[in-house]
């Protein structure tokens, strides 16, 4: 099956710094990727839809200036958490939509962000 890779898997940063998380589709091209945030023992919260070559579409309540998304190529989307605060600490997951129009999503392994 298709593989989506996220990097880094874990990152610890100081409050006020920015952190970039990468999401790559390794063996297929993904025009659409999604970014989620997962709270402990809770569901996935869709943050934004990332479309290659255009601006990301953010869900209601998600600060676009806080969570910068760039989808510059068909295999890479990045999420940058700017001026991170402890409340931004979370598990961030990306997924890529299969190109065969089946609607199947392939998920990355997730990135654990801890802001001190």
Question: Near another protein by CB under 8 A, which window of 17-25, 66-74, 78-86, 98-106?
Answer: 98-106
| E strand segments, the chain | 4-7, 10-13, 19-25, 32-38, 44-51, 57-58, 67-73, 76-81, 90-97, 105-107, 111-115
For another protein, the binding residue among 84, 95, 111, 115 (CB under 8 A) is 95
Q: Which is nearer to another protein, 99 or 110 (CB)?
A: 110
Q: CA-to-CA distance for 46 and 35, rounded, in angstroms?
A: 6
- End-to-end alpha carbon distance in the chain: 37
When the beta carbons of 106 and 115 are compared against another protein, the nearer one is 106
Q: Binder to another protein among 40, 53, 86, 103 (CB under 8 A)?
A: 103
| Closer Cβ to another protein, 87 or 100, answer by number | 100
Q: Is 110 in the site for another protein (CB under 8 A)?
A: yes
Among the listed residues 108, 111, 113, 115, the single contact to another protein using CB under 8 A: 108
Residues 19-78 that bind another protein (CB under 8 A): 34, 42-44, 46, 49
CA-CA distance, 111 to 39, in Å (whole number)?
Answer: 12
Which C-beta is closer to another protein: that of 84 or that of 111?
Answer: 111
Q: Give whole-number Cα distances, 76 to 4, 26, 67, in Å.
A: 10, 9, 16
């Amino acid at each position: 099956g298709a593989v989506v890779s996220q990097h880094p898997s874990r990152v610890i940063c100081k409050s006020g710094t920015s952190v970039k998380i990468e999401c790559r589709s390794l063996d297929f091209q993904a025009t659409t990727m999604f970014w989620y945030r997962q709270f402990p023992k809770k569901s996935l919260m869709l943050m934004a839809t990332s479309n290659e070559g255009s601006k990301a579409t953010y869900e209601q309540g998600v600060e676009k200036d806080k969570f910068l998304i760039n989808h510059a190529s068909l295999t890479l989307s990045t999420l940058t958490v700017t001026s991170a605060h402890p409340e931004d600490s979370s598990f961030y997951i990306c997924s890529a939509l299969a190109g065969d129009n089946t609607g199947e999503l392939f998920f990355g392994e997730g990135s654990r962000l801890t802001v001190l």
